[in-house]
Amino acid sequence: MCRVYWLTGLSGAGKTTIGRLLCERLRAAGETAALLDGDELRQVFGGDLGYTEADRRKSAMRNARLCALLARQGITVVCCTISMFDSVRAWNRENIPGYFEVYVKVSMETLRRRDQKGLYSGGRDVAGIDFPLEMPKAPDLVLENDGQRTPEEQVNLLQSTIGGQP
């Protein structure tokens, strides 16, 4: 069965790093798998949306609908996105068979220390800092990613949670 692994969390939480490793493992196990990253998806869709709440909601629904489309065509999807709206995650649960939500949770202290994109040093519209997010209330799995586990160990935990089945 095709799954959609929806990795959500704040910017810099490690969603794409974990997602990329998961996708590599899925492919190595013979799955047809696609990795979708929120930043790349914005460009793929033409970069026509800004960062207002309405634009972010529209972007999130584009991502969700693309995941559903790919899954219906027999492709396992690993989607790494901030996904800040409960309504989008609820839509996913209702409309995507095999939906599996992973919240990659990181402390603000760790995010500020990592700050790979320079987002947490100020001056931008940063989700979770400059405006509130609707954090996942009932994800299928929470991965605490403050550095206690390597990305490989995080993927091991994810795969063991789903019974070792990619």
Catalytic amino acids?
Answer: 83
**Element containing residue 54 per DSSP (H, E):** helix 53-72
Pair 92, 99: CB distance under 8 Å = yes
Helix, strand and coil in the chain, % to nearest 5: 40, 15, 40
Burial 101-130 (b: 16+ CB within 10 A, else e): bbbbbbeeebbeebeeeebbeeeeebbbbe
Give the list of residues 6+ apart from residue 160 with CB closer than 8 angstroms, or none.
none
Q: Which of 104, 110, 89, 96 is nearest to 158 (CA)?
A: 104
Q: Both tokens of residue 45?
A: 């869709």
**What residues are paired with 99 via a beta bridge?**
4
